[in-house]
Structures are given as structure tokens and as C-alpha cells.
Amino acid sequence: MSEDQRSHGLGAAARVTAIAGSVMDLHVRIALQEVDREKRRLISGGVFLAMGGTLMLFALLAVEVALILWLQAAWGWSLVRGLISMAVVDVVLAGVSLRIGGQLAKGPYLPQTLEGLSKTTRAVLGRQ
């Protein structure tokens, strides 16, 4: 192989490498934009879930106060007896909710979700 042919081959390889690098840069840039968009959506959703959870907590407290007042008026219970009863009910419901939530959070996750996460991770890290 002559020196001219070798330099021509290296020039073509350099161009192909530059094109491949450019395509990868574009792909990573698009993947990062998608991650940014999803991050904003998840943060917004989390804020609204937190607001809804806080408002539900206030509503629950109002219902419990009303129930304690009703127990005092209808059954003649003392304040301490009503508070202890509500605390026991709350602890039991919290335990059941945590148990069910823990079981549901274990998975399995949808294959599309796992595939999308792995593709995005590979794109962000620059792997194929």
C-alpha cells in the first residue's frame, strides 16, 4: 500500500468516526432533553401529590375531631377515651396501609418501563 492510499484510508476513517461521534452527541443531547422533560413532569406531579396529601391530612384531622366530639355527645365518652380510641384506629389503619403499600411497591414493573429506563441510562452514559 502506498503512502497516498494509507492517508486516504485514514481520512475516510476519521470522517466516519467524526460522523459517528456527531450522531452519538445528538442522541445523548436528545436523551438528556427527554430526561429533563420527564424530571420536570415528575417534580410537578410530586408537588401536586404533596399538596393533595396535606389537604387530605387536614380533612382527616377534621373528621377525627368531629368523630371524637360525636363520641363524647352520643355515648358520653371522656376526651381521653375518645383520643385513645382514635389513636388505636389510626395505628391499625396505618399498619394495614403500610403493609399493602409495601407489597404493591415491590413490583413487578412493566417491561416497557424497565426497557425505557435502561435505554435512557445507556444513552446518558454513552453506551450502546
Q: Who contacts 67 (Cβ-Cβ below 8 Å, separation ≥6)?
A: 82, 86
Structure confidence by residue, pLDDT tens digits, 102-111: 888 776 667 7
Mapped onto helix, strand or coil, the DSSP state of residue 107 is: coil
Structure confidence by residue, pLDDT tens digits, 49-97: 999 999 999 999 999 999 999 999 999 999 999 999 999 999 999 999 9
Which residue segment(s) compose the domain that 50 sits in?
A: 3-125
Q: Tell me the C-alpha distance between 46 and 37, whole Å.
A: 14
For 96, half-sphere exposure in the C-beta direction (CA atoms, 13 angstrom radius) is 6
CA-atom Rg of the chain in angstroms: 30
- Residue for cell digits 404533596? 50
Q: Give the pTM.
A: 0.51
Q: How many domains does the chain have?
A: 1
Q: Which three cell numbers stand for residue 10?
A: 485514514
